[in-house]
Amino acid sequence: MLFYENSERKKISQLFIFEIVFLRVKINLPRMYRIIRPLLWTLEPELAHNLAIKLIKFGFLNFYKFDTPLNLEVSVGDLSFPSPVGLAAGFDKNAEIFYELFKIGFGFVEVGTITPVPQTGNPKPRIFRLEEDKGLINRLGFNNIGLLAATQNITKKIDLKRKQKLGVNIGPNKESKDRVRDYIDCLRKVDELADYIAINISSPNTPNLREFENTKIDDLLREIELNKLSKKPIFVKISPDLENKQIASIIESILKFNLDGLILTNTTTTRDSRLKSKFGTQEGGLSGLPLSELSNQKLSFAYSITNGAIPIIGVGGVFSGKDVYEKMKLGANLVQLYTSMVYEGPGLIKNINNEIEMLMNDDGIKNLSEIIGINRKA
């Protein structure tokens, strides 16, 4: 609080008062976010995010506790996920609140992107709300506390008996002289803590990172295969801005170097002419509803090639149980979201899980594995 401007400090204390009033009278807690959001959104997006992290650390999510229905369980390789719905990378960059997020119905949480040494990222402002479009644009640039501090956070809070799975997303430092080495250093350090590891080669906010999606892919994945310490699954996270033939070639490399899966997609640098918000022209990666169609196209294409040979985590523009169901039918084994939680609040995860269960009942589906890939389009 000491570092905030006076006006920001006033808004923050108003929020705490709101919080206390609601905790005392327990008014309609699931709908609380609808009341809090307008107040939270008077703050600049990154400040609102940092405040949300603080509230979550104080136990704010205890009011949203939710046990996922048993029939939502999904198995991917040797891992069993209590729900196919996970939190995408970037929300809990420093692994500060993943154990709190497990309580609200997520089957898994992916922390990071973590880089070997701490870095501050790009100049602020660097997150923009595209309210009319239900999207966000960010150009954060891997701001994080670094590998050592982040892994200490995980060690402190990890519950070895939990059902939910922890993914750790890793990337290189912007100024690094050897980016492949950065991935390897992170990989070796997070191996024993993570249930799976995500190799992020697709952030648009670290200059030239996406080169790993082109010519340098084999060099990176070969080193990763050589430096694997265990059988923990390694997923490669790719961009929605790739041509289909580039996606095909990344899949070929994943198979060649015996890695385990694909996450698609990261944010897009493309801008659709249908965007309404004045922030639509900001530089950075676009997420949320405007990404949904594009990421679904890429998912469908990837499944048409892999045909289930490697698992896929589908991410981009998921706002409902129907959206999760659709991504699974297009070929996703698991699904992640980020932007919709900013718009709808933590109660969304319970609603999504319940909606998936309803859709399963309507379709007479006993196990979600029955629907994976049944609507593939490409």
Ligand X SMILES: Cc1cc2nc3c(=O)[nH]c(=O)nc-3n(C[C@H](O)[C@H](O)[C@H](O)COP(=O)(O)O)c2cc1C
For the window 187-226, what string marks contact with ligand X as x by the rule CB under 6 A? -------------x--x-----------------------
Q: State the number of binding residues for ligand X (CB under 6 A).
A: 27
Q: Is the link from the previous residue into 206 a cis peptide, with omega within 30 of 0?
A: no
Integer Cα distance of 137 and 123 in angstroms: 14
Is residue 203 among the annotated active site residues? yes
CB-wise, 186 or 337, nearer to ligand X? Answer: 337
CB-wise, 165 or 363, nearer to ligand X? Answer: 165
CB-wise, 90 or 233, nearer to ligand X? Answer: 90
Q: CB of 291: closest distance to ligand X in angstroms?
A: 5
CB-wise, 10 or 186, nearer to ligand X? Answer: 186
Rg over alpha carbons for the chain, rounded to the nearest Å, is 20
Residues 42 to 61: which contact ligand X by CB under 6 A?
none
Residues 261 to 290: which contact ligand X by CB under 6 A?
266-267, 287-288
Instruction: State the alpha helices, DSSP H only, in the chain.
Output: 6-25, 32-40, 45-57, 98-101, 147-157, 179-190, 217-227, 244-256, 292-306, 321-330, 339-344, 347-363
Contact 300, 274 (CB under 8 A): no
The DSSP code for 68 is: P
Q: CB of 201: closest distance to ligand X in angstroms?
A: 9
Q: CB of 92: closest distance to ligand X in angstroms?
A: 10
Contact 111, 92 (CB under 8 A): yes
Shortest CA distance to 76 belongs to which of 365, 335, 356, 357? Answer: 335
CB-wise, 19 or 44, nearer to ligand X? Answer: 44
Residues 354 to 373: which contact ligand X by CB under 6 A?
none
Binding status of residue 314 toward ligand X by CB under 6 A: no
Q: Tell me which residue has its CB nearest to ligand X.
A: 90
Q: CB of 285: closest distance to ligand X in angstroms?
A: 7
Distances (CA, A) of 312 to 112, 153, 169, 209, 331: 19, 28, 15, 21, 7
Distances (CA, A) of 170 to 106, 115, 257, 319: 21, 6, 18, 26
CB-wise, 91 or 301, nearer to ligand X? Answer: 91
> What are the residues whose beta carbons fall under 8 Å from the beta carbon of 260, sequence distance 6 or more?
77, 196, 233, 234, 235, 254, 310, 311
Classified as helix, coil or strand, 62 is helix
Residues 124 to 163: which contact ligand X by CB under 6 A?
127, 136, 138, 140
For the window 318-357, what string marks contact with ligand X as x by the rule CB under 6 A? x------------------xxxx-----------------
The residue from 202, 203, 239, 340 that is catalytic is 203
Shortest CA distance to 371 belongs to which of 317, 288, 303? Answer: 303
Binding status of residue 76 toward ligand X by CB under 6 A: no
**Largest interatomic CA distance in the chain:** 59
Binding status of residue 316 toward ligand X by CB under 6 A: yes
CB-wise, 261 or 288, nearer to ligand X? Answer: 288
Residues 102 to 131: which contact ligand X by CB under 6 A?
112-113, 127
Give the residue numbers marked as catalytic: 203
- Residues found near ligand X in the complex (CB under 6 A): 88-90, 93, 112-113, 127, 136, 138, 140, 169, 200, 203, 237, 266-267, 287-288, 291, 315-318, 337-340
